[in-house]
Structure 1
Amino acid sequence: MLTSFRLLALSCVLAAPSFSAWSDTGKLRLTGGISSVDGAGGGGVSPWALIGTQATEGEQGLSLSASRLRTQDYGLDTVAAAWSWNDRLELSLARQDFDASPAVALNGLGFAVSPGQHIRMDVLGVKWRVAGEAVLDSDSLMPQVAVGAQFKHTDAGSLRPVLDFVGAKTQGVDVYVAASKLLLERGLLLNATLRYTNANQGGLLGFGAAAPGRQARSLQPELSLAYLLRKDLAVGAEIRWNPNNLEAVGRAAGLGNALRQDAWRDLFVVWSPTRQWTLTAAYVDLGRVVPGVTQNRRQSGLFVASTWSF
């Protein structure tokens, strides 16, 4: 499924309207956000209504990003690319590589997880600005509003039998609506995103579960706040709630809260040394990620990312 989506996205880039120039004027710094772990323009863990890249109306743009997250027991590396047109359409592709080494502990339950197992997920995203314009409407109550979808495919390797056991699928689609309000005079950006999803840990642990009612999607909110300290430096915070689909399966199997999922939180700082380049550092708290194999430890750590936008 993802192969055809990649071809579709590439075709859209190659067939971009010939009258649309590549970004040469550019937005105000930081008003395109950074690339989230899902590839969409926004914050580190949540897509915003802002369209990524430096392209403004009548232009097309490109962004490339790489990020790394390390917690007490896990690691996540992401590379992503996004293309935008007319400051209205955004297409993104992301590749996530999740170090799931602690899952070897599941072999005590009869599974055969390979040592050092990684989970890899591809994400194709599309976002469309449907109303508002963050900068032009900064002196009114109107936010910028966008709708989006993310098509995800997970390659769990030797963990696939574990996902089959809990009834989690390896493909899923998230749909979301986001509203971003820029208060330019106060240097403040507020964003609220409502995601319709059944993804476990963003999809890295599959989608849905075998427990009654846990295959269906649910609405999950995400909130972000960013404060501009100066034109090239911002600080902020995010929180992203997630469906807790797997815990019920774990309890039914006598594992208690071994498969519980918590909300994700982060505190971040973003520096833009040039108009095209941003560097991000964040403290991220993912809560408990499969606490049954990590002695119930919360997973927190440092997230770093670099994004180039044109």
Structure 2
Amino acid sequence: MPKNLVLPALACWLGVMLSGASAAAREAITFDSGKLILTNGVTTIEGSGGGGLATWATISGMGTNRAVGISAHVTGVELPDFRLDTHGIAIGIRDRVELAYARQNFNTRHVGAALGLGRGFQFNQDIFSAKVRLAGDLVYGPGWLPQISVGAEHKRNLDGAVVRAVGARASAGTDFTVSATKLFLGASVLANATVRLTKANQFGLLGFGGDRNGGRSVQFEGSLGWMLTSRLVVGGEWRTRPDNLQIAHEDDAKDLFAAWAVTRHVTVTAAYVDVGSVATFKNQRGGLLSLQLAY
């Protein structure tokens, strides 16, 4: 090739390559928001996609299997003696993989003084989670085959000295989950079942393992929802939990919820929550309010 044609040829080749790479990148990060409304679920208090308490097999965000989805949430749980605030972000990749982060802040109010921690003492926890859809589809495919996902939630309590003082064996731990979720469109009913392997005390807010039981145990999470309209679903959840600490008996958690899709991208969830006994204070029943933005 004549020398005076080399540079133009190289420039042309480079332009084609960059154009192809740019097109591939655009395809990889497409946001199509193509899921049916509410079929992405809402966000749990631990940051993964699901209900308020239970993890579901759903993948966060509104992206289909050809796109990327993203969601962000802020949630408050008001109890008689405590308050829990969580916020976080999750990314769904081609409706196959979910990556999420959440921060939990647990305010002990006057209980902190009674426990010698100081009034308004706050436990803080970071949660990094991942979930992979293995089989099935929430809406489509055989009616007998639910969407099935496996997940992991790594929790890091930022108050290690305090949680060890109340009997926890560690300030960090990892939960493992297997979830099966199906929306039966004909009946407008959503059903979910999750098995969780965990040693978290009060979701990890009081550390992991204890003087009563130091290892992981198998726990169950169940959810049932009824779609009153395409934008409103009501239902309930039940979540069993380990009872690892001698000084702080732990009960099952349950809720009754309503999730309303204000728009395709904005969902508000309100729930009545009962978590039983928390740090020796019984009858911790109150309200949950959550706002989720999803694309």
Q: Same fold (TM over 0.5)?
A: yes
| Residue 150 of structure 1 pairs with residue 147 of structure 2 | no
Letter in 1 for 2:251: D
Q: In structure 2, what is the Cα distance between the partners aligned to 1:17 and 1:167? A: 46
1:132 aligned to which of 132, 136, 139: 136
Aligned to 1:224: 223
Aligned pairs (5 A) from 1:4-19: 18-19=26-27
Assess if the C-alpha contact under 8 Å between 2:163 and 2:207 holds in 1: no
Letter in 2 for 1:234: V
Aligned to 1:265: 254
| Structure 2 alignment gaps of length 5 or more | 1-23
Aligned to 1:141: 144
Q: In structure 1, what is the Cα distance between the partners aligned to 2:259 and 2:52? A: 10
Structure number with greater Rg is 2
Aligned pairs (5 A) from 1:178-189: 178-189=179-190
Aligned to 1:90: 98
Aligned to 1:201: 202
Assess if the C-alpha contact under 8 Å between 1:121 and 1:204 holds in 2: yes
Aligned pairs (5 A) from 1:1-310: 18-101=26-109, 102-107=111-116, 113-137=117-141, 140-156=143-159, 160-161=161-162, 163-211=164-212, 214-246=213-245, 249-250=246-247, 259-291=248-280, 294=281, 297-310=282-295
1:161 Cα deviation from its structure 2 partner = 3.8
Q: In structure 2, what is the Cα distance between the partners aligned to 1:37 and 1:119? A: 15
Aligned to 1:9: none
Q: Identity over the aligned pairs, expressed in percent?
A: 38
User: Residue 103 of structure 1 aligns to a residue in which SS?
Assistant: helix
Letter in 2 for 1:278: T
Q: In structure 1, what is the Cα distance between the partners aligned to 2:162 and 2:67? A: 47
TM-score by length of 1: 0.84
Letter in 2 for 1:82: A
Assess if the C-alpha contact under 8 Å between 1:168 and 1:205 holds in 2: no
1:165 Cα deviation from its structure 2 partner = 4.7
Assess if the C-alpha contact under 8 Å between 2:33 and 2:69 holds in 1: no
Letter in 2 for 1:49: A
Assess if the C-alpha contact under 8 Å between 1:48 and 1:178 holds in 2: yes
TM-score by length of 2: 0.88
Q: In structure 1, what is the Cα distance between the partners aligned to 2:232 and 2:31? A: 22
Q: In structure 2, what is the Cα distance between the partners aligned to 1:180 and 1:152? A: 24
Assess if the C-alpha contact under 8 Å between 1:233 and 1:269 holds in 2: yes
Q: In structure 2, what is the Cα distance between the partners aligned to 1:105 and 1:17? A: 56
| Structure 1 alignment gaps of length 5 or more | 1-15, 108-112, 251-258
User: Residue 241 of structure 2 aligns to a residue in which SS?
Assistant: coil
Per-residue CA deviation, residues 31-81 of structure 1 (Å, 9 max, x unaligned), is 000011010010001110011110001100110110101010000011010
Assess if the C-alpha contact under 8 Å between 1:282 and 1:302 holds in 2: yes
Per-residue CA deviation, residues 197-234 of structure 1 (Å, 9 max, x unaligned), is 000000000000133xx111000000001110000011
Per-residue CA deviation, residues 88-136 of structure 1 (Å, 9 max, x unaligned), is 00000000000023032123xxxxx132100010000100000001111
Q: In structure 2, what is the Cα distance between the partners aligned to 1:75 and 1:17? A: 43
Q: In structure 2, what is the Cα distance between the partners aligned to 1:116 and 1:276? A: 35
1:18 Cα deviation from its structure 2 partner = 4.7
Aligned to 2:12: none
Aligned to 2:8: none
User: Residue 179 of structure 1 aligns to a residue in which SS?
Assistant: strand
Q: In structure 2, what is the Cα distance between the partners aligned to 1:192 and 1:162? A: 30
Q: In structure 1, what is the Cα distance between the partners aligned to 2:253 and 2:114? A: 24
Q: In structure 1, what is the Cα distance between the partners aligned to 2:133 and 2:237? A: 21
